[in-house]
């Protein structure tokens, strides 16, 4: 069936949609857009998302950009790159944007891991992938696609990366360090990481994933971005998915020396970041309240749920992120399934820690719902 519509009618419909969308940012910060999952009866605490969503300013920037949807995003990509370079004290050619930091991880796997089939033509530095166990698994999946050998090194007794063992496992290739680490929410001390980077062979690429760095407030944590100027083999990945509440928009980036960025760039799709994500990211960087509020709300809700779990006798790994991981004192899979039956979604199984549950920090009402369901399934 064909449906015709006049230009005037189309404009009216578009205007109505835009007006509705613009109206939504007037919601208070404590009444986020992410409430749809709760309204549908599902408490989603499974993916380390920010339940408060993007800032009102970012939402308005997106609605204002509706008319640019017909244009390629090049100019806005340049603008965001310039903003990130200024923020981090680097040059523009040291920034590579990505479709979320997930694309950055995929590019690194493709550029720096896999077998060398022709030493005369392949880029130097390809080889195995070395990661902690457990850690964020996406880069492992990518490296396996490219035929790379993968090595998992268990976390140490304090749930930090065992950097000496990781260094011993890799001479060429890629070492992935997620700090704070996902799923444990733990950190690797700044002195250990700084020393590791300084001593690593130049042919070994070190990718430090700082997706959760905004949430880390320990005096033993620091970003390694300042170390890039002296280390051509260091890449730092960042994302707008967490503190900026843009997980569904997909916008991330990495910082490295120019030559390293140029090795990565050929493996990226052109214009991989969409214009809505770009305008939201640009605006978010200028909204200091988004970061401050996100930290405060996360800290308050995390303190609440940790206190309640302490009362129940469950011990957590010290958390420096917007999620926690705690020992359930029994196999976690049946608990995950039982909570799901009660419309509470928590993190998946991480085989290295089969009795630990990863729990995203949501709004206080969501944490209340989790605690109620958790008490039921552990009774």
**What is residue 178's three-state secondary structure?**
strand
Q: Is the pTM of this model over 0.85?
A: yes
CATH topology of domain 66-285: 3.40.640
Q: What percent of the chain has pLDDT over 70?
A: 87
- Torsion-angle region of residue 41: left (phi > 0), alpha (psi -120 to 50) or beta? left
Determine if the peptide bond prior to 180 is cis (ω within 30°). yes
Question: How far apart (Å, rounded) are the C-alpha atoms in residues 266 and 164?
Answer: 32
Per-residue three-class SS string for 28-86: CCCCCHHHHHHHCCCEEECCCCCCCCCCHHHHHHHHHCHHHCCCCCHHHHHHHHHHHHH
Q: What is the pLDDT of residues 180-235, one digit of tens each?
A: 999 999 999 999 999 999 999 999 999 999 999 999 999 999 999 999 999 999 99
Contacts of 121 (CB under 8 A, 6+ apart): none
Q: State the pairing for strand pair 356-360/323-327.
A: antiparallel
pLDDT digits (tens, 9 = 90+) for 42-78: 999 999 999 999 999 999 999 999 999 999 999 999 9
Helix axes 7-23, 56-64, angle to 10 degrees: 170
CATH class of 26-50+288-378: alpha beta
Query: What integer pLDDT is reported at residue 116 of this predicted model?
Result: 61
Average pLDDT, the chain: 89
28 pLDDT exceeds 70?
no
Span 156-178, average pLDDT: 94
Domain spans of the chain?
26-50+288-378, 66-285
């Amino acid at each position: 069936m064909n449906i015709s519509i006049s230009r005037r009618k189309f404009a009216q419909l578009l205007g109505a949609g835009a007006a509705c969308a613009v109206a939504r940012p007037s919601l208070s910060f404590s009444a986020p857009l992410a409430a749809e999952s709760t309204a549908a009866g599902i408490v989603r605490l499974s993916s380390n998302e920010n339940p408060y969503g993007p800032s009102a300013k970012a939402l308005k920037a997106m609605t204002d950009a509706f008319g640019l949807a017909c244009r390629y995003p090049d100019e806005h990509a340049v603008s965001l790159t310039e903003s990130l370079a200024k923020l981090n004290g680097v040059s523009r050619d040291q920034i590579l944007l990505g479709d979320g930091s997930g694309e950055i991880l995929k590019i690194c796997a493709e550029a720096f891991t896999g077998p060398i089939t022709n030493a005369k033509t392949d880029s130097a530095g390809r080889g195995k992938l070395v990661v902690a166990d457990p850690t964020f698994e996406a880069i492992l999946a990518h490296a396996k696609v490219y035929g790379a050998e993968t090595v998992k090194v268990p976390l140490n007794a304090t749930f930090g990366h065992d950097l000496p063992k990781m260094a011993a496992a890799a001479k060429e290739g890629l070492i992935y360090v997620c700090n704070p680490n996902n799923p444990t929410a733990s950190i690797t001390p700044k002195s250990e990481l700084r020393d590791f980077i300084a001593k690593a062979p130049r042919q070994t690429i070190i990718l430090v994933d700082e997706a959760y760095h905004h949430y880390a407030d320990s005096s033993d944590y620091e970003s390694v971005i300042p170390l890039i100027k002296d280390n051509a083999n260091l890449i730092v990945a960042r994302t707008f998915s967490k503190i900026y509440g843009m997980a569904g928009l997909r916008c991330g980036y990495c910082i490295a020396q120019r030559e390293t960025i140029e090795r990565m760039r050929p493996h990226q799709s052109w214009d991989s970041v969409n214009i809505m994500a770009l305008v939201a990211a640009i605006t978010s960087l200028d909204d200091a309240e988004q970061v401050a509020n996100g930290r405060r709300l996360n800290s308050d809700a995390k303190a609440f749920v940790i206190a309640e779990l302490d009362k129940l006798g469950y011990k957590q790994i010290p958390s420096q992120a917007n999620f926690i991981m705690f020992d359930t004192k029994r196999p976690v899979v049946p608990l995950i399934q039982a909570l799901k039956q009660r419309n509470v979604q928590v993190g998946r199984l991480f085989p290295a820690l089969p009795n630990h549950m990863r729990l995203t920090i949501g709004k206080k009402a969501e944490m209340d719902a989790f605690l109620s369901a958790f008490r039921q399934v552990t009774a």
